[in-house]
Structure 1
Amino acid sequence: MPERPRRIAAIDLGSNSFHMTLAELGPLGIKTYHREKRRVRLAAGLNDANQLDEAAQTRALETLSVFGQILEEFQPDDVRAVGTFTFRTATNIHSLTQQALKVLPYPIEILSGTEEARLIYQGVSHDQHLPDNTLVVDIGGGSTELIIGQTTEAKLLHSCNMGCVSLTERFFPSGEITAQAFRRASLYSAQQLESIRMRYLAKGWELAIGSSGTIKSLSQCASELGLSDGTLTPAVLQDLKARLISAGHIDNIDIPGLNEDRKPVISSGLAILIAVFDLLEVSSMNYCDSALREGLLFDQQDRLQHHDIRHLSVSQLAKRFGCDPHQAQKVAKTAQTMFDSVAASWQLNNLDYHQFLYWSCQLHEIGHHINHLSCHKHAAYIVRNSAMAGFNAEQQAILSFLLLSQRKSLKIDQSPTFDVYDSTTTLKIILLLRLAIRLNQFRQSDTLDSFEVSANRNKLTIVFHTIWKDRQELFSSDLEAEQEQFQPHGIELDYVFLG
């Protein structure tokens, strides 16, 4: 009997709608079976303090419960659920992500704006053959992503904190549609885009493509009205704007091709797109049906086939800041030896913990060229503020925290918020990193890997062979210092020098 193709699911938790795509990964690539879309308008629940209200959280949980039931029937092998603008903006989002685990038993990753943009471009570029260069615009509920790429590789990435839901709340709050509201919304949008205008114009593009709900709806309207074949131009956008202003209120909108659930936010979405056309001098734009969720599916495929772009991001960052690859590999080898010895006892079943350790070994010296004494702080800052393709917000925060904690005192008060990963396990990874760095700190020529490591639940024991005897006095004080750092957090370190 032939083996069942691997089933995968991608969940895009946007600020306006939640989407889920079910697919199978077979020898011929990805085959999509089902798409589910629910309008949640999550961004409408954000108050001035960026707190997400209970009504919005309830709407989200109801939809996630439906998704959970569908997944229970589908029985996927791999699921990625990602949150976008509202998830990265809401200060109380941890409450929602923890409640969500009760109805959707898969952790929610929170994407940075640039990572969201990269995945959107990946979805579009795998759906269509793109020339050099292509501009992709995606207007979401809370943010707008603009990308210029060459074939399948994104070159310029930008995410603006403006979307069709957030601007509706700001400029069309009562449902009234006026020329003044359009003018104010477009002016605001233009101000948000001004910082990237010259850079994007200098790069240039041959083709402009739009994705997601706003641009899909506008393209359908243009086609249904006979204004074009669905292609959007400045003239088409102005025609649609005039029709909306003439309607005067969302309750009076009667434009063929415009779905009922899109009417409340279409004016703000159009205002954003008009600003994009004006500032970036776009003459025409086509619509593509693929976007973030398709990008997620292709990213899952790459990871399952061991083409993880996160490795490239780390490698590029290490090279950019002049890390010594030989020393990094020595530290990584020591760390790998220890990890393999304790993985079973410490139940390090999530492959990402191994990756975190390896990546932090590769990057632990990126702060040296700035200031050796505070290299750990600079390393953490660089990682925290770099655009690292493939990393979600929590993964990048954990990697930054690992580098901050590689030496001197543990900065527990600067620990990230954990949703997908575990704080105690992360501390154990930090211990392995610190030990690997310490055992190679003198850049000695011999690897000194003649030691054995064992562990139980919260204890690590190292037995050093006789080759270490001459260095016992040198390293004992270092190991005692590590004991003092980790013991208050319930993690014990024990060591023995043989001979």
Structure 2
Amino acid sequence: MRRPRKRASSVAVIDIGSNSVRLVVYEAMARSLTTLFNEKTLCGLGREVQTTGLLAPDAVAKALTSLRRFRALCRVMKVGRVHAIATAACRDATNGADFIARAERICGVKIEILSGPREAKLSALGVISGIHRPDGIVGDLGGGSLELIDVRGNRVRSGVTLPLGSLALQDLSHKSLKRAERIVRGELTGLAQLKSGRGRAFYAVGGTWRALARIHIIQSEYPLRVMHGYSIPAQDALDFAQRLRRLVVANMLANIEVVADARRPLLAYAALVLEYIIRVARPKTIVFSTFGVREGLLYAKLPQPERHEDGLICAAQTLNELLSRSARHAQELIEWTDRLVRVAKLRETEEDRRLRHAACLLSDIGWRVHPDHRGEETLSLITNGNFGSISHQGRAFVALSVFFRYAGLSEENQPPLIVQELVPPAMLERARVLGAAFRVAHLISAARPGVLPATHFRSNGRKLMLVFEHRLVDLVADRVGSRFRQLARLLGRSGTIVRR
């Protein structure tokens, strides 16, 4: 009898930042991290460090109380390994070492005080782990500092740390936006690390920048509430940052519920930094990343081969194993659609191919849902899934492909228009084709492994044929032929079933 696979132990990161203290528990050390628990407390440790050189006593007390809770939570959850890091406030404050010593006694683990360059590199690695082949400048805005670092694919250049964190700016400027603007202009104008950003992406990391993105999503009535991978053209982001600063000055954001009370006063400083980064670097687009230092820390600890794996495919494989009727069938479906693409001579980019493979892995995850709701439920699950290495457009494509697999292609069963609008017409048509292919494959095989490898595609002019090996001829039926002809029509072909 096969022994059940031993469950991998969980891993946690305690992140002592200049503004927040956070505990994140992940299911296991893996290429695609799955969050089990996430809690933060806005302590404001770096609130007065720039002017007094000290961590404020009330902030220290609040942080230590949170750390006691975090340690207790790790015991209750039986976390396998706990990592702890601290950033700008603790490395800059004269009483930072004393606070860290007290924190280590509470947490029971060594706390790594990140240097500026180390923090910048981990931020970059976090973006690499959560963005497929990033190309641009990573900017991690915390409460105490701003880290800037260049990334191209898996390559990371040296970074820089600047005292432009939201709390630090508020402290240095004595809460004057005019003084803060002079400070930001002086630090960023002509900065070498920003000169290479022109025409590329700027990856915005950090809680206050995420708060800006949340406001933009709501104000623009964007259909997804997914923060990771949300992107804005740089000029739009510049206009928004300037407008937001004016609203903060006019006290017109005081009651906005999507931003925590303690973060609202910092929005103007975050907007100001983003505004000058756009002016100096001239990026093409601003991309918000929820993957940062914590994820970079764990990514760096993975073996080299795992770091090179595709994060999207790893996440899709995990969901396939958890939710599909047969994990092996999904792998066979990848090979089956590979053959379809090759025989039908469909044009595909490398990105098209990885999205198709992800859709194959996710094509059966809704089987436990009531048949009337499988399409809409899987559409929501995929578009809002907690995974990285995929753009919002890619999410929509994969989700629409699986939606069409369940809901069919009739006019009566169409996905929400707001999701369709996330993809261009050609991409929407590819999702229909892939959904139609899934409908053929799952009808033939009943999602059981070993069936699809015994079916083959042939092409003769405008005729596309699906060939069944002799041992499977009893699986051929009118419904199978009807669905295959529908697929062929979408490809501009006629479709025929062949018994060999």
- With normalisation by structure 2, the TM-score equals 0.54
Match of 1:374 in 2: none
Distance, in Å, in 1 between the alignment partners of 2:92 and 2:107 is 21
Q: Which residue of 2 aligns with 1:365?
A: none
Partner of residue 91 from structure 2, selected from 81, 88, 94: 88
Q: 2:200 aligns with which of 184, 203, 206?
A: 206
Task: State the alpha-carbon separation in 2 of the partners of residues 183 and 227 from structure 1.
Answer: 31
Residue 4 to residue 256, structure 1, CA distance change in 2 (3 Å) = closer
The CA deviation string for residues 216-260 of structure 1, in whole angstroms up to 9 with x for no partner, is 111111121118776263444444533543454658634574343
- Within 2, Cα distance between the matches of 1:126 and 1:252? 34
Q: SS of the counterpart of 1:58?
A: helix
* SS of equivalent residue, structure 1 residue 136: strand
Quick check: 2:18–2:143 contact (8 Å CA) kept in 1? yes
Determine the structure 1 residue equivalent to 2:15. 12
Deviations 1:19-76 (A, max 9, x none): 2221133677543322122111110142634122322211210111111111111222
Verify: 1:66 aligned to 2:58, yes or no: no
Partner of 1:163: 165
**Which residue is equivalent to 1:184?**
179
Q: CA deviation at 1:273?
A: 1.1
Instruction: Measure, in 1, the Cα distance between the counterparts of 2:171 and 2:71.
Output: 30
Give per-residue Cα distances to partners, 1:292-323, cap 9 Å, x unaligned.
1111221233499999xxxxxxxxxxxxxxxx
Q: Does 1:124 align with 2:127?
A: yes
Partner of 1:55: 58
Instruction: Name which of structure 1's ranges 49-58 and 222-231 shifts more when overlaid on structure 2.
Output: 222-231
Counterpart in the other structure of 1:344: none
Q: Which residue does 1:242 correspond to in 2?
A: 243
Q: What letter matches 1:160 in structure 2?
A: L
Contact 1:186 1:274 in 2 (8 A): no
Q: Is the 8 A contact 1:222 1:232 kept in 2?
A: no
* 1:219 aligned partner: 213
1:254–1:31 CA distance, 2 compared to 1 (3 A): closer
Equivalent of 2:114 in 86, 91, 111: 111
Q: Mark the CA change 1:249 to 1:15 in structure 2 (over 3 Å): closer, same or farther.
A: farther
Counterpart of 1:215, as a letter, is W
Residue 301 of structure 2 aligns to which amino acid in structure 1?
Q
SS of match in other structure, 2:18: coil
Partner Cα distance (2:170, 2:108) in 1: 33
CA distance in 2 between counterparts of 1:64 and 1:102 reads 10
Q: CA deviation at 1:194?
A: 3.5
CA distance in 2, matches of 1:18, 1:206: 32
Describe the SS at the equivalent of 1:145: strand
CA distance in 1, matches of 2:305, 2:66: 28
Match of 1:139 in 2: 141
Please name the residue that 2:232 is paired with: 231
Deviations 1:340-375 (A, max 9, x none): xxxxxxxxxxxxxxxxxxxxxxxxxxxxxxxxxxxx
Provide closer, same or farther for how the CA distance between residues 68 and 17 of structure 1 changes in structure 2, counting only shifts above 3 A: same
Equivalent AA in structure 1 for residue 67 of structure 2: L
Instruction: State how far apart, in whole Å, the 1-side matches of 2:232 and 2:173 are.
Output: 27
Paired position in structure 1 for 2:313: none
In 2, the alpha carbon distance for the partners of 1:251 and 1:47 equals 28
TM-score (norm 1): 0.54
8 Å contact kept, 1:219–1:231: no
SS in structure 2 opposite 1:25?
coil
- Whether the 8 Å CA contact 1:20–1:293 is kept in 2: the answer is no
Structure 2 Cα separation of the partners of residues 255 and 284 of structure 1: 26
Find the counterpart in structure 2 of residue 292 from structure 1.
Answer: 293
Q: Which residue of 2 aligns with 1:25?
A: 28
CA RMSD in angstroms, aligned pairs only: 2.9
Give percent identity, aligned residues only.
Answer: 23
Q: 1:82 to 1:205 in 2, by over 3 A?
A: farther
Measure, in 1, the Cα distance between the counterparts of 2:167 and 2:91: 15
Moved over 6 A (4+): 303-307
Gaps of 5+ in 2: 223-229, 309-500
**AA in 1 matched with 2:283:** V
Q: Give the structure 2 partner of residue 261 of structure 1.
A: 262
| CA shift in 2, pair 1:224/1:91, >3 Å | same
Are 1:97 and 2:96 counterparts? no
Is the Cα–Cα contact under 8 Å of residues 241 and 275 in structure 2 kept in the other structure?
no
Secondary structure (helix, strand or coil) at the match of 1:142 reads coil
CA distance in 1, matches of 2:32, 2:220: 37
Q: Distance in 2 between matches of 1:212 and 1:48?
A: 23
Instruction: Show the counterpart of 2:322.
Output: none
Q: 1:3 aligned to 2:6?
A: yes
The Cα of 1:124 is off from its aligned counterpart by 1.1
Closer, same or farther: CA 88–206 of 1 in aligned 2, 3 Å: same
- Asked if 1:79 is matched to 2:82, the reply is yes
**C-alpha contact (below 8 Å) 1:221/1:256 kept by paired residues:** no
How many residue pairs were aligned? Answer: 298
Structure 2 counterpart of 1:277: 278
Bigger mean CA offset, 78-87 vs 96-105: 96-105
Taking the aligned partners of 1:286 and 1:221, their CA distance within structure 2 comes to 15
CA 21–301 in structure 1, closer or farther in 2 if over 3 Å, else same? farther
Q: What secondary structure, in the 3-state scheme, does the structure 2 residue paired with 1:231 have?
A: strand
Task: Name the CA distance, whole Å, in 2 between partners of 1:108 and 1:283.
Answer: 38
Structure 1 residue 265, shift from structure 2 partner:
0.9
Q: Would you say the 8 A contact 2:198–2:284 is kept in 1?
A: no
8 Å CA contact retained: 1:25, 1:301:
no
CA contact (8 A) 2:231 2:285 kept: no
CA distance in 2, matches of 1:248, 1:240: 12
